[in-house]
Amino acid sequence: MQKKHLSVLIICLALGALFAIVQVGISNGMISGYWVTNLFLMGINIILAASLNLINGFTGEFSLGHAGFMAVGAYAGGVITTNLGLPFPLAIVVGMLAAAVAGVLVGLPTLRLRGDYLAIATLGFGEIVRVVLMNIDYVGGASGLKDIPDVVNWPIIFVSVVLSLLLIKNFVRSSHGRACLAVRENDLAAQMMGVNITYYKVLAFVVGAALAGLAGVLYAHYYTIIQPKEFSFLLTFDVLVMVMVGGLGSLTGSVVGAVLLTTASAFLQAIPELRMVIYALLLIISAIFRPQGLLGEKEVTLRTFQKLGGVFNATSGSKQTQ
Amino acid sequence: MQDLLQQLLNGLSQGSIYALIAVGYTMIYGIIQLINFAHGDVIMVGAYVALGAALMGFGFIPSLILAMITCAILGVVIERVAYRKVRPVSRLAALTSAIGVSLFLQYTMMYFLGADIRSFPADILPERTYTLGGVIVTNKDLLVLGTTLVLVIILQFIIFRTRTGKAMRAVSFDGQAAQLMGINVNYTVAFTFFIGSAMAAAAGMLYGICFNVQPLMGLMPGLKAFIAAVLGGIGSVPGAMLGGILLGMTESLVAAFGGSMYRDAVAFIILILILLIRPTGLLGKGVQEKV
Amino acid sequence: MKFRGKWGKSVAFLTVMIFVLGVFAAGCGGGGDTIKIGVNYELSGQVATYGTSCKNGVMLAFDEINKDGGVLGKEIEGLVQDNKSQNREARNVAEKLVSKGVVAVIGPATTGNVQAEEPVLTKSKIPLLATAATAPEVTYDEKNKKVRDYVFRVCIIDPDQSQVVSNYLHDELNLKNGAIMVDKNNDYSVGLGRTFKEFFTDKGGKIVAEEGFIDTDTVFKPQLTSIAAKKPDFIYIPAYYNQVGMVIKQARELDIDIPILGADGWDSPELVSLAGVNNLSQCYFTNHYSVEDPSERIQHFVKAYEEKHGTTPDAFAALGYDAGYLMAEAIKQAGEANPQKIKDAMANIKDFEGVTGKLSFDEKHNPIKEVSIIEMVDGKQKLITKMQPVH
């Protein structure tokens, strides 16, 4: 017990320190606007990757509808603040709710499909959302929703990311999450053990969708303009790749994947001609050499650092004896 | 009435393009159950090779053969390098790899040849239009439809009448068992990619002649072809053809009645409905008989 | 250091990836005594064709300027960055360019991407010169009735082109019943279609059919069949050449032989090969200039561009080229490479001679330029007339 309290304390301190350092860095200009943008994008990507991982990694479903859920959240939130002039917190609530409702609507009928069929059906859902948004003049049609209030700042991003990760972590650790894992490993056996598989599948789907909606609201209120074409299936692919590179079924893996690929994309801006070629090669190489992702299903915890420390001590110790 | 007939014919010409692409798609999926997202981009490569040959003065048939050979080899290389090791480990990793290959082909092509849109020289296939009872058909429409039919027949022959075809069906049914029975699974999968990619090249050349050639040209047709394949029953070659034509006709009618903006959405709604009502597709006869 | 087990391998892989990225990062440092101009374009993604043309135009202009001794005794350094045709990347790139100390930014090509970039540059007080963003709101904030101080553009805005073309149709060609077909996924096309309808109906014309398509479409016969059933006198298709070429070809295949008109998005040598020479008879479009214009400046540009890139320039390349020279001119008039002064000089530009016409800015930072009407004759562009739009 004592040890557990200690690790919680250490994590809280580390997070607090991260928050404070970045906050100070932003306010005195040590971190340039460019890195602030990338940091915010990283935060949004972490939420997207972690929530997609909840669906694809922890329940073993294969969803490609994330761009659609994000679009629903972004537009719902955008309408609240931009068209109706209501406050931002309400936009977050409405955006998440709208995406969750979309999650139920899509999840209930399609979740009895399996594997690639579910993948292509959810991909279809995302495209339908995009086409419908493109045809609604109230939200700007193809030219998009513009002049959305620019309210997203570092505290909002930071708190959203931490709360999302905490929510997913606790969900996975809860009896609900255990049931989801059981469904992933063997849904027939799970059903025989009395797990209501449809309920748990839809539940994970809805939580994942709501968080994608949250990412959408943040996205809309940071970039101040959203257009339907941005939420095409290519965006889902980007997120999927983050999940995959980090490790399917590893929450910390998603964080690593999102941070790594956002950074990669940023650095590659300087070589526009070869940017996507190198990005594509990174994907193929990581799929071939680490098909289970960088972290596999493992999580990075404090124990990992202790272990790494141990390895480091051991090697440095052995050097001394030589 | 005449307008409606014309609209159905418009749908047929669009649909046979989908069908042409879907035929190769469905065969590869049938064997290895991998959504080969790069299939659309193999089409693109095929179109560029054929275009290059045509610009160097080769005629229709030599250009076509050159494109088919190049893409068949490309397909085998893709399978060997990007899929073979990954496929058995994880489905998602295989899909990631497929996405990687797709992007790689698109942007390598863009790097070397630029993003410009290109078109075939007009004399590669002199244009003719025929009017039948007020309905207008072009020779390209007929060519695409005819090619698709021929390809379907050839494929059906290979799959059901040859030894390799038998091996393909066996691998599709149960890869491990097939291996135990002495079938060279790797060879069979490679052969499938060889044939499927050659088909893609033919589709690419015809697509390029009908419309245009550019590095991202394979993306949307590839996706639509996949829908067509699912619609017809994935793994079923005649099903892919039927699915493609039905999809094209539906889209054409939707556009004709003022819903051109919703065309893509309708395609996906049909897909979802089919999946829910009849997941094996129109001509799919359950999982066992897939190839 | 020794890596152990699976964990160690992951760490090793991570380290290698970070190292690889680091090398790229190190490679992109610049320096020296140059004037840094950001060049933010769509070099990959959906509209890479347009962005790449613009960038080629801009960089050609910079090369020529530097060969002639640069501006204020310094070379211009164009920092080219790719925004993947995405709004978020356009903003991201703008932040990056600001942190690299650029004094001005040229690009992106499309309206949405410019609008995503604009808040960053306005906040940092750095002028932005857009090349092909034609929506009126780009330089003018409709909500607050305020000009966006730091935003300028070299292209004419949507209403100018649609006004000229509706005058020409109504007064010169004497056609009264029109059909409109727009790319609904493209605000440029939608904007032109909407303003054209307003101008044309104001003049007493009638729009009998309105159809749309989206940029990934390749078959347009369903819409064309519907249009033909309404028997219009002409079709107005303000979209980009890669679709328009196919639309015209398919229209002629369906025996629709009425005039087809469009806007500057048509300007590309590819239009002819996509549509076919014979299909292009009775086709007209509005543009900033004509490649066939014998003026020395235009012919010099066309030749230089062909030498460097092997293709005839399209309208995007021409606008990019003008943007490059206009930027140099503004810096010269500002007297020093200071963003604030460049912005002021830019606003006061008068009668700048570009390949896309003589340019001055109005109070909303939109160029006042003549609009050329071009007819396609035997696959060649023929300049019919030039008209000055009324603001």
A314 touches chain B (CB under 8 A): no
Residues of B in contact with C44 (CB under 8 A): 107, 110
Residues of B in contact with A260 (CB under 8 A): none
Q: Choose between A311 and A119: higher pLDDT.
A: A119
pLDDT > 70 fraction of chain C, expressed in percent and rounded: 92
Mean pLDDT computed over B22-47 = 90
Residue C29 pLDDT grade (very low, low, confident, very high; cuts 50, 70, 90): very low
> What value does the CA radius of gyration of chain B take, rounded to a whole number of Å?
19
Whether residue B88 is preceded by a cis peptide bond, meaning omega within 30 degrees of 0, is no
Average pLDDT in chain A: 86
Which stretch of DSSP H or E encloses residue B42? helix B39-55
β-bridge mates for residue C285, sequence order: C262, C374
d(CA A173, CA A150): 36
Residues of B in contact with A134 (CB under 8 A): 261
Structural domain harbouring A207? 33-232
Q: Is C231 exposed, middle or buried (0-12, 13-18, 19+ CB in 10 A)?
A: exposed
Tracing tokens 């008989």 back to the chain, one arrives at B289
Residue A173 domain flag? yes
Residue B38 CB-half CA count within 13 A: 32
Write the residue in A33, A141, A304 that is nearest to C99 by C-beta. Answer: A33
β-bridge mates for residue C82, sequence order: C41
Can you give the pLDDT at residue C328? 95
Q: How far is CA A95 from the centre of its chain?
A: 16
Residue A15 domain flag? no
- 3-state helix, strand and coil shares in percent for chain A, rounded to the nearest 5: 80, 0, 20
d(CA C353, CA C156): 15
Residues of C in contact with B17 (CB under 8 A): 218-219
DSSP letters for B251-290 = HHHHIIIIIGGGHHHHHHHHHHHHHHH-TT-SS---GGG-
C274 touches chain B (CB under 8 A): yes
Residue A301 domain flag? no
Q: For the segment B36-58, what is each residue's pLDDT rounded down to a tens digit?
A: 889 999 999 999 999 999 999 99
Write the residue in C46, C214, C219 that is nearest to B10 by C-beta. Answer: C219
Residue A45 pLDDT grade (very low, low, confident, very high; cuts 50, 70, 90): very high
Can you give the pLDDT at residue C14? 54
Residue B226 CB-half CA count within 13 A: 24
What's the domain count of chain A? 1
Question: How many CB atoms sit inside 10 A of residue C351's CB?
Answer: 8
Q: How many angstroms separate the CA of residue C5 from the nearest CA in chain A?
A: 11
**Is the separation of the CB atoms in A245 and A286 below 8 Å?**
yes
Residue B94 pLDDT grade (very low, low, confident, very high; cuts 50, 70, 90): confident
Give chains near B: 3+ CB pairs under 8 A.
Answer: A, C
Residue A209 in tokens:
């969708």
Tell me: pLDDT of A3 over 80: no
Is C253 in Cβ contact with B129 (below 8 Å)? yes
Is A127 in Cβ contact with B268 (below 8 Å)? yes
Can you give the pLDDT at residue C1? 42
A11 touches chain B (CB under 8 A): no
Q: Choose among C305, C275, C263: nearest CA to C378.
A: C275
Tell me: pLDDT of C232 over 90: yes
A131 touches chain B (CB under 8 A): yes
Residues of C in contact with B255 (CB under 8 A): 222-223, 226
Is B107 in Cβ contact with C226 (below 8 Å)? no
Is B14 in Cβ contact with C214 (below 8 Å)? no
Q: How many angstroms separate the CA of residue C390 from the nearest CA in chain A?
A: 26
Is B10 in Cβ contact with C225 (below 8 Å)? yes
Residues of C in contact with B256 (CB under 8 A): 222-223, 225-226
Interface probe for A, chosen from C39, C92, C121 (most Cβ of A below 10 Å), is C92
Tracing tokens 């709208």 back to the chain, one arrives at A98
Is A34 in Cβ contact with C98 (below 8 Å)? yes
Is B117 in Cβ contact with C255 (below 8 Å)? no
Q: For the segment B121-138, what is each residue's pLDDT rounded down to a tens digit?
A: 888 888 888 888 778 888
β-bridge mates for residue C37, sequence order: C78, C104
B173 touches chain C (CB under 8 A): no
Tell me: pLDDT of A137 over 90: no
Is C44 in Cβ contact with B110 (below 8 Å)? yes
Mean pLDDT computed over C19-39 = 62
Residue A81 is given by DSSP the state: I
Residue A271 domain flag? no
- At what angle are helices B237-254 and B139-161 packed, to 10 degrees? 150
Write the residue in C48, C214, C277 that is nearest to B110 by C-beta. Answer: C48
Residue A269 is given by DSSP the state: T
DSSP letters for A68-98 = HHHHHHHHHHHIIIIIS---HHHHHHHHHHH
Can you give the pLDDT at residue B220? 86
Q: Which residues contact B211 (CB under 8 A, 6 or more apart)?
A: B217, C218, C246
Mean pLDDT computed over B249-255 = 90
Q: Which residues contact A319 (CB under 8 A, 6 or more apart)?
A: none
Q: How far is CA A82 from the centre of its chain?
A: 25
Is C135 in Cβ contact with A272 (below 8 Å)? no
Can you give the pLDDT at residue A195? 78
Residue A200 domain flag? yes
Lowest-pLDDT choice from A69-73, A186-190, B238-242: A186-190
Residue A218 domain flag? yes
Q: Choose between A183 and B232: higher pLDDT.
A: B232
- At what angle are helices A88-110 and B263-277 packed, to 10 degrees? 50
Lowest-pLDDT choice from A43-47, A97-101, A155-159, A198-202: A198-202
Give chains near C: 3+ CB pairs under 8 A.
Answer: A, B
Can you give the pLDDT at residue A310? 65
CA angle B262, B266, B268 (to 5 degrees): 125
Mean pLDDT computed over A204-208 = 92
Q: How many angstroms separate the CA of residue C220 from the nearest CA in chain B?
A: 9
| Three-state DSSP state, B162 | coil
Residues 12-31 of C with CB under 8 A from A: 13-14, 17, 21, 24-25, 27-28
Residue B108's alpha-carbon distances to A63, A273, B76, C84, in angstroms, are 29, 9, 18, 15
β-bridge mates for residue C78, sequence order: C37
Is A56 in Cβ contact with B103 (below 8 Å)? no
Residue C17 pLDDT grade (very low, low, confident, very high; cuts 50, 70, 90): low
Is A223 in Cβ contact with C116 (below 8 Å)? yes
Write the residue in B97, B102, B265 that is nearest to A288 by C-beta. Answer: B97
Tell me: pLDDT of C2 over 80: no
Is C311 in Cβ contact with B252 (below 8 Å)? no
Can you give the pLDDT at residue C32? 57
Residues of C in contact with B260 (CB under 8 A): 211-214, 217, 222-223
Superfamily for C34-156+295-369? Response regulator (3.40.50.2300)
Q: For the segment C117-126, what is each residue's pLDDT rounded down to a tens digit?
A: 999 999 999 9
Residues of C in contact with B107 (CB under 8 A): 44
Residues of B in contact with A63 (CB under 8 A): none
Mean pLDDT computed over C357-378 = 89
d(CA B197, CA B73): 8
DSSP letters for B17-32 = HHHHHHHHHHHHHHHH
Can you give the pLDDT at residue A276? 84
Is A304 in Cβ contact with C13 (below 8 Å)? no
Q: For the segment B134-192, what is each residue's pLDDT rounded down to a tens digit?
A: 788 888 889 989 988 998 899 999 989 999 999 988 988 888 888 888 899 999 999 99
Residue C125 CB-half CA count within 13 A: 6
d(CA B26, CA B168): 13
**Is the separation of the CB atoms in B86 and A287 below 8 Å?**
yes
Tell me: pLDDT of C341 over 80: yes
Q: Where are the domains of chain C?
A: 34-156+295-369, 158-287
What are chain B's domains? 2-289 (1.10.3470)
Mean pLDDT computed over B207-235 = 88
Superfamily for C158-287? Response regulator (3.40.50.2300)
Residue A318 pLDDT grade (very low, low, confident, very high; cuts 50, 70, 90): very low
Is B97 in Cβ contact with A273 (below 8 Å)? no
- 3-state helix, strand and coil shares in percent for chain C, rounded to the nearest 5: 45, 20, 35
Residue B16's alpha-carbon distances to A45, A170, B41, B271, in angstroms, are 40, 51, 19, 18
Nearest residue of chain C to residue A131 (CA atoms) = C185
Strands of the sheet with C352-354, listed across from one edge: C352-354, C357-361, C367-368
Can you give the pLDDT at residue C31? 45
Mean pLDDT computed over A33-62 = 90
Is A267 in Cβ contact with C25 (below 8 Å)? yes
Is B116 in Cβ contact with C311 (below 8 Å)? yes
Q: Choose among B42, B46, B34: nearest CA to B96.
A: B34
Residue C9 pLDDT grade (very low, low, confident, very high; cuts 50, 70, 90): low
Q: For the segment C261-297, what is each residue's pLDDT rounded down to a tens digit?
A: 999 889 887 888 889 898 999 999 998 877 777 888 8
